Amino acid sequence: IREECMKIKEKLKIILSGAIMAAMALSFVPAIPASAETGTDTYSYEGYSVDYSVTNEWNGGQSVEVKITNTGDEPILNWALKYDTVGEISSLWNGNVYSHDETEYIIKNANWNYEIAPYQSVMYG
């Protein structure tokens, strides 16, 4: 019985540490404005930068590409960005809507681009 209790405690520790890591990751989600004129804006932070490019716009919509570049020496794992939008995000590629509440979106990595190696980039739009 003691051995079973130790196994259960270890499993709970793993689950709890995973939940804490997920909560911490979301607390560091940067906010990027999601409505701009055609062109590119670059936002620089400690360890990474974000290029927000409006590639096309029309009455009621925009095409946007976002490039996240790891400027640090350690990989970025399970990245996410937070947007306060004027409209709705749709037709997303290379990312997933993690959460959506009125005008606030959190966009998270897709399964295949969860890691950004040092001095490398990922793009979504």
Alpha helices in the chain (DSSP H): 2-27
Coil, helix or strand for 81?
strand
DSSP for residue 37? -
Q: How many CB atoms lie within 10 A of CB 100?
A: 14
Place of tokens 């997920």: 22
User: What's the angle, vertex CA 125, arms to CA 60 and CA 59, rounded to 5?
Assistant: 10
CA–CA separation, 67 and 52 (whole Å): 7
Range among 49-58, 65-74, 83-92 rated most confident: 65-74
Closest CA to 54 of 68, 67, 71, 69: 67
Compute the average pLDDT of residues 36-42: 77
- pLDDT tens by residue, 27-38: 444 555 544 567
